[in-house]
Amino acid sequence: MILGCDIGTALTKGVILAEGEYIFGTSVLTRANAERAFEDLLEAIRRERGFKLDDFKEVVITGWGEGRIRLPHRSEPTMKCIAQAAIWDLPSCRFALCLGAQQSSALILNDRGKVLDYRINDKCAAGAGRFLDIIFEALETTPEESADIARSADKKIAMSSQCAVFAESEVVSLVNDGESVANILEAIFRSLVSGVVALSKRLPIRGEIIVGGGLANNLRIVELLEEGLGKKVKVFRLGPSFIAAMGAALSVNGGVR
Amino acid sequence: MKNNSSLIKYDYLRRLNVTCDLLRVALSSGAQTLPELVANWPQIKAELIKEHDEEYVQHLFELVFPEVAEALLNPKHLQPTIKFAIALKKYVLDLGKYLDEGKPVVYNWPTFTPEVWYAMGVVPVFPFEAFAGLLSGLYTDGLEAENDEAEKQGFAFHICSFTKGPIKAIEVGKLPKPDLIIKNSSPCDSSNLNYQYAAYVNKCPLLILDSPYYTNQRALKYYVQNVREMLEEGQKITGMKLDVDKLRYHCEISNRQMKYMYGLQRLRKEVPCPDPGMMRFLDFGTLVLCGHSDLVPAYLEQRYKEVKERHERGETFLPPGKKEIRTLWSWGWVANMFYLPHWLEETFGSTYMECQLSYLPEDITGFVDTTNLDTMLEGLARRSMNFVMHRTAMSYSDIWVNDFVTIARSHKVDVAIFGGNRACKHAWTLCKILSDALQEQLGIPTLVWEHDVCDKRFMPHSKIKELLTEFFTTVAQ
Amino acid sequence: MQTASLKVAKQASPLEELLNLPLRSNNPYIQEWKAKGNKVIGYVCSYTPEELIYAIPGVGGTRIMPVRIGGVGCTHTEEADTLMYRYICTFTRSTLQLALDGEYNYLDGVVFNSCCEHMRRSYEFWRDLVRPKIITMVSVPRTCHSETEFRWYHEECINMMEEIGKVWGLNPLPDQLLNAVKTYNRYRQLMMEVYRLRALKKPKLTGSEAFKIMQAGFNLPKDLFNEKLEMALEELKARPGITDYRARVLLAGSYTDDPSLVDTIESTGALVVSDSLCTGRKFVDNLVDESSSDLVEAVARRYFSRITCPRMMEDPEERINFVKKLAKEAEVDGIIFQHITFCDIHNIENIIESEAIARAGIPTLKLEREYNAADTGRLKTRVQAFLEKIGK
């Protein structure tokens, strides 16, 4: 069995493959401590499936926290992992997006899952999951509810989509002005997706698109993404958060194909 | 040295002065590794305190980036850096003497080279941008304090730190107040307004060399006229007169510099690239000191000699077994991470092709014809119009894009990194055009990332290494 | 100049018309203008010598009308963001976005200037992606006190006329040039009258209204605009004047044509009684010398040597004195220096000017904003706090 692990800034994800087949996946909170998160992940796997560390022939780690893990392991760059998982999920995929807690990335790949080029947006907080967490808290809603709430928006509010700091204070003003949570959420989502679309269009978009990363759990965001790109988008089948972890696992034996 | 000497009074100048000797003595100590350098430090210090204050020297040594020290000790950098330090030291002593004689304090934007000023008997102060680059590249304290001062006053975080910090340094007494400032109107609003602010606040004249928006004969003629008028005004303001023979003397020196610069550029085309990338920043330093003394071409001659010999022996400075990844730096060097090219060479075999802070198109610029004043001014003007950070900025983005796509082809580039200074807005507008062209025409991927050229806090070195590691282990394989 | 007959509400007074003129191709006058075979050339910066465009005759009695390209009404800048990245001012991104969205398809040509770092690089995208029939650059030197610099600019102006003219084989005769010059001088004089009415103790119009008139001026043939403005001025003079305002402010800084910014400021009760903007007072400052025997040169001279935009690396003292003069004229209580995020020119110029003006005892506020700012709440709060601070 192979354990692929993606230690992100928000969540630490693990995916288990046996004979190249997907067996199981789970995640734990990272809470700024990669070593402890990795331990928590192993513990969760043991609790839920009874697998121990020794059961894994290989442990492949990617993501922000990879460098902090002292246990001997293989490491794999995140972009490669995303591409590998994308092509495994959809052989016709030539474009992948990963919308994470702190970073959004877009990449183009060839038919063998090799990354040809990629662009990242890691310097703008308004495009990342962390920013949304803050907004959800301010609006007293949860990620799970937010998609439905946003869909019920009845007015288009223009957001100052340029800066997270400005956007946050704008939300406060809008709430004070009596604007509905639905309208505000929809506006925030549109603003965020606008940044992702701008990032994506810096590369040529050909073929099918796969999206991964925690933000893609929000179906309203995915809908808006499709609208913005003018193309259908497939959410990574194991759950978007698991895309890089799966890719890490797939990378053993030279990856897919 | 007397305590009221300019080289003591003004901290930037003091630091520059000590830096020259620190580099020279430390690199000549026989140490080959960082631990050896640290072991040799007592002897090095003993040498340095013959001229400089002990506490100051000790403090400065402790501020040096260990990675930079380690990199400079590497044989591929060692001898040229010593020669650079020697050339810079002569300039610094000339500057100190000049200022102590109470002569006019002149700051000269580097894209018009300083031969004309030397020919007037003026020693311009080391440019703001050169200070920013050097101080943020060598020392861990950088210019953070001055940058923060400027931002407190209202200068946006994205105003270019090449200039923003040093002009504050004047206000806090770390640099002498200007009597005259000269600026090209290119490359950018950020530098232009910084210079206007400096002139206004220090109540001194600001002479503008207007960078024409085109690159044709009309533009050259116009620019030469600008140069003449600038010189006329400059001589009036400083009370110093331009001596044509002195100009010829300094132009002949800079012509020799250009000969080696062009030679190095040609050698960079070879496979494997025999020219170590970290020296690119020091090469820029020689452009800032263009024509100052014979010691400047001596540095470049050393550089050229080593690079040529390496090429002729078919050798590489890359670690054994490292496959060369020929890398186009499609923006430019990151001043605050001086050792970055070296880290890339050692870690990924990534060799430094060209960047817009290095590249001087030889066939277009040539050499200055030293026949008479007219030919010299025209030659200097022509060089300036095609200078680093000028040619690519003063006109349409087509120039930068075409220059770099052509270089990518001729130099057999594998990948590109557009590490863009966040302040450099005109560069950002062509980032997509350029990276698209490289991908579409040559299949070359580009890593696009942001930094602040002279402030390491915005994009810390560890993060830069992460980003580059991801890139070089992904697309560059 | 023919008087256009309007299909829209005929009972609207000239003032009402000017205050409610639709934008861009929704402007019925532009629609009518084009329907009659006349042409429209857009420009981006106040260093474009408009009258030289307006002077170019067409065939069949047609003309060419210059319009200033703005970004009002732009709600997103996605494509522009993709192309230009995020360190570019939102005005530049908005205008490019509108062009990419086809909002400027009614233009027959565009004139760019090398005005500022952001706008000048927009040129390449207009040239390659928007692809107007004519696109030309009038590059402007960064200093304006030398004859060498003036000659360059003068040549650029002549070149602009030639670039536009040569596409259709059109060149102005001397009397056509003179008519255009006279029309534009008249335009400036009338606009100065608007400034006078704004500066009264009981201003005849709000800053917001003044901005709308300014916008109308950018988007109507000047002869027609002059006619309407003359009548509108009579209507304004007949008003009793505004007395219930809290404070008188002057607006300075980055390019502003979005009335929404002025609206936000005036929603606090303040009145924007003057401005030193390149779309406002600086735009109409200084007349062309009609008596000159070389009118093209006279026009270039006027544009080149009037009060400078801080892109001109001249002594800021002149610009500071200009603001002081305006502040005194309009008896302002304070000056708001705004700059669009990433506008380096006004970020730093505002520091220079506001510090000098504060030393002269006039209260100042520095504001950073986006163009087409949506975060009006934040801006309003800042202005309110400023007014409270100065005891208004």
Q: Can you tell me the distance from the alpha carbon of B263 to that of B304, in angstroms, rounded to the nearest whole number? A: 7
C377/A161 Cβ within 8 A: no
Domain map (residue ranges) of chain A: 2-78+244-254
* Euclidean distance between CA atoms B329 and A17, whole angstroms: 40
pLDDT at C3: 44
**Looking at the domain C37-172, which fold is it?**
Rossmann fold (3.40.50)
Tokens of B442: 């040559």
Q: What pLDDT, on a 0 to 100 scale, did the predictor assign at position A162? A: 56
Say whether C245-392 and C37-172 share the same fold: yes
Of residues A163, A194, A199, nearest to C76 (C-beta): A194
Name the most confidently modeled range: B112-116, B362-366, C6-10.
Answer: B112-116
Which residues is A25 bridged to in the sheet? A15
**Measured distance CA(B441)–CA(A118) in Å, rounded:** 17
CATH architecture group of domain A2-78+244-254: 2-Layer Sandwich (3.30)
Q: Global pTM?
A: 0.93
Is the ipTM reported for this complex over the cut 0.90?
Answer: yes
Residue B149 CA to residue B137 CA, distance in Å, equals 20
Q: How close are the terminal C-alpha atoms of chain B, in Å?
A: 55
Counting Cα atoms < 13 Å in the Cβ hemisphere of C177 gives: 22
Contact B422, C72 (CB under 8 A): no
Closest approach of A76 to chain B, Cα-based (Å)? 8
Q: How far is CA A243 from CA A5, A39, A226, in A?
A: 10, 20, 19
CA dihedral sign, ordered A65, A67, A68, A73: positive
Do B240 and B180 form a contact (C-beta atoms < 8 A)? no
Are the CB atoms for A162 and C86 separated by under 8 Å?
Answer: yes
Is residue C210 a contact partner of residue C272, using CB atoms and an 8 Å limit? yes
Rounded-to-10 torsion of CA A141, A145, A148, A154: -10
- Interface contact flag, B473 A77, Cβ < 8 Å: yes
What is the spatial order of strands in the sheet that B446-451 belongs to?
A: B350-352, B325-329, B415-421, B446-451
pLDDT at residue B128 greater than cutoff 70: yes
Mean pLDDT value of segment B316-341? 97
Please list every residue in chain C whose beta carbon sits closer than 8 Å to the beta carbon of residue B155. 347-348, 351
CATH architecture for segment(s) C245-392 = 3-Layer(aba) Sandwich (3.40)
What does DSSP assign to residue B64?
A: B
Cis-peptide into B297, omega within 30 deg: no
| C374 closest CB neighbour out of A160, A194, A198 | A160
**pLDDT score for A165:** 65
Among A169, A172, A173, A186, pick the best mutation site for testing chain C contact (most C Cβ within 10 A). A173
**Count of C-beta atoms within a 10 Å radius of residue B179:** 17
Tokens, residue C39: 């042409």
Which one-letter amino acid corresponds to residue C12? A
Phi (first) and psi of residue A97, to 5 degrees: -120, 140
pLDDT in tens, A179-225: 899 999 998 899 889 889 999 999 999 999 999 999 999 999 999 99
A77-91, A188-202, B194-208, B293-307, range with the lowest pLDDT: A188-202
Residue by residue, DSSP assigns C95-145 as HHHHHHTTTTTT-SEEEEE--SHHHHHHHHHIIIII--SEEEEE---S--S
Residue C336 CA to residue C364 CA, distance in Å, equals 6
CB atoms within 10 A of CB A214: 23
The per-residue pLDDT for C2 is 41
What the block records as the tokens of C134 is 């004519």
In this prediction, residues B16-26 reach a mean pLDDT of 98
Do residues C319 and C355 make contact, with C-beta atoms less than 8 angstroms apart? no
Instruction: Give the gap in angstroms from C-alpha A121 to the nearest C-alpha of chain C.
Output: 11
Tens digits of residue pLDDT in A225-245:
999 999 999 999 999 999 999
Most confident range (mean pLDDT) of A192-206, B2-16, B93-107 is B93-107
Contact list in B for residue C143 (CB cut-off 8 A) is 185, 208, 210
pLDDT band, very low/low/confident/very high, at B300 (cuts 50, 70, 90): very high
- The amino acid at residue B400 is W
Beta-carbon contacts of residue C291 (< 8 Å; ≥ 6 apart): none
Q: How far apart are CA A64 and CA C275, in angstroms?
A: 51
Q: Where are the alpha helices (DSSP H) in B268-396?
A: 279-288, 295-312, 340-348, 362-365, 373-385
**Over residues A76-97, mean pLDDT:** 96
What integer is the mean pLDDT of B136-148?
Answer: 96
Tell me the mean pLDDT in the region B48-63.
Answer: 97
CA distance C363 to C357: 8
Tokens of C53: 């465009």
Q: What pLDDT is stored for residue A173 in this prediction?
A: 81
CA distance B227 to B155: 31
In chain A, which residues have their Cβ closer than 8 Å to the Cβ of C370?
A: 160, 162-163, 166
Q: What is the pLDDT of residue B374?
A: 98
Cβ-defined contact of C378 to A194 (cutoff 8 Å): no
Whose tokens are 């959809």? That residue is A90
Average per-residue pLDDT for chain A: 90
Contact B335, B451 (CB under 8 A): no
- Rounded to an integer, the average pLDDT of B123-136 is 96
Q: CA–CA separation, B382 vs B378, rounded Å?
A: 6
Residues of chain C below pLDDT 50: 1-4
Closest CA to B284 of B234, B345, B226, B329: B329
B229-235 long-range Cβ contacts below 8 angstroms, 24+ apart: B229/C146, B229/C148, B230/B182, B231/B116, B231/B377, B233/B205, B233/B207, B234/B106, B234/B116, B234/B117, B234/B120, B234/B180, B234/B182, B234/B207, B235/B120
Contact A173 C377 (CB under 8 A): yes
Domain ranges of chain C: 37-172, 245-392
> Contact A121/A105 with Cβ under 8 angstroms?
yes
Residue A127 CB contacts under 8 Å (≥ 6 apart), including other chains:
A104, A121, A192, A195, A196, A199
Q: How many CA atoms lie within 13 A of A66 on its CB side?
A: 22
Contacts of C375 in chain A (CB under 8 A): 160, 166-167, 169-170, 173
d(CA A181, CA A175): 8
- Cβ–Cβ below 8 Å for C81 and A172: no
pLDDT at B267 over 80: yes
Which among B197, B199, B210 has the least Cβ separation from residue C149?
B210
| Nearest residue to B106 via CA among B159, B160, B161, B175 | B175
The span from the CA of B39 to the CA of B59, in Å, is 17
DSSP C180-233: HHHHHHHHHHHHHHHHHHHSSSS-SS-HHHHHHHHHHHHTS-HHHHHHHHHHHH
Q: What is the dihedral of CA B82, B261, B275, B75, to 10 degrees?
A: -10
Q: List strand residue ranges (DSSP E) for chain A, in order.
A: 2-7, 11-18, 21-29, 58-62, 74-75, 93-99, 104-109, 115-121, 208-212, 234-235
Task: Kindly state the average pLDDT of the residues B277-303.
Answer: 97
Q: Kindly list the strands in the beta sheet with A93-99, ordered across the sheet, starting from the edge strand earlier in the chain.
A: A115-121, A104-109, A93-99, A208-212, A234-235
Nearest alpha-carbon partner for B33 in B71, B83, B64, B60: B71
Which pLDDT does position C6 carry in this prediction?
52
Task: List Cβ neighbours of A47 (8 Å cut-off, separation of 6 or more).
Answer: none
Counting beta carbons within 10 angstroms of the beta carbon of residue B466, is it exposed (0 to 12), middle (13 to 18) or buried (19 or more)?
A: middle
Which residues on chain B are in Cβ contact (under 8 Å) with C84?
A: 428-429, 432
Which of B183, B193, B226 would best serve as a mutation to test chain C binding (most C beta carbons within 10 A)? Answer: B193
Interface test with A, best of B157, B433, B470 (most A CBs within 10 A): B470
Question: What is d(CA A149, CA A141) in angstroms, rounded to the nearest whole number?
Answer: 9
CA C106, C108, C109 angle in degrees (round to 5)?
Answer: 120
